[in-house]
Amino acid sequence: QVLVESLGRYQAQLQGETPEAQFLWDNASKSDAKPIDENKFADHVKTHLEKDLKHRGIVLNREVRIHRGERTDIQVNAIIHTASAESYDSITVIIECKGCWNPGLHDAMRDQLVGRYLKDNRCQHGLYLVGWFNCVKWSGRDRRKNQALRLCPNIDDTRHKLTASAANLSKDLIRVRSVVLDASLR
């Protein structure tokens, strides 16, 4: 919940009075604007979360190896009091970041986040984060644009579908949430 709230603040910054979404684009002020890649998107998200949550004792890392050959986009660790409040425990959340053009957009929450990263892992909490970039300023020369329009033409429908998927995947001890950030240019 803390991460979702922080990403809500990030969303407000992305589309606020002085919109920061422009920093998630290459050539944002020109006719050939295109979104940054997923790795740079994850870097921006991590930087925001770090600034926003550092004072709460939350530690964020990029590309953490959890299984041989598998690295998370962002791993979040927080120290919490146990029920007795006499000792501490840690809680971990794995964040998987996708751009709205990713061909596996509607399967990666199940196959990658839950099926690989949360499987056989002490971490049982996942956040599926999608950057939604669809807008008229996105250059038609960028092949990702048509893919994004096919996969998720409407941000509200995309949010609804991914929220439903996250609810369906939250079983037993596994807890998954999804967030779709509007990173479009005005």
Going from the C-alpha of 43 to that of each of 2, 38, 46, 94, the distances in angstroms are: 19, 9, 5, 14
Q: What is the pLDDT of residue 121?
A: 79
Reading the block at residue 46, the tokens are 């991590």
Q: What is the 8-class DSSP label of residue 74? A: E
| pLDDT given for residue 113 in this prediction | 94
Gap between the Cα atoms of 98 and 108, Å rounded: 9
What pTM value is reported for the model?
0.91
Q: Do the beta carbons of residue 159 and residue 126 sit within 8 Å?
A: no
pLDDT tens sequence for the chain (186 residues): 999 999 999 999 999 999 999 999 998 777 789 999 999 999 999 999 999 988 877 877 777 777 666 778 888 888 776 666 666 777 888 999 999 999 999 999 999 999 988 888 788 899 999 999 999 999 999 999 999 999 999 999 999 999 999 999 999 899 999 999 999 998
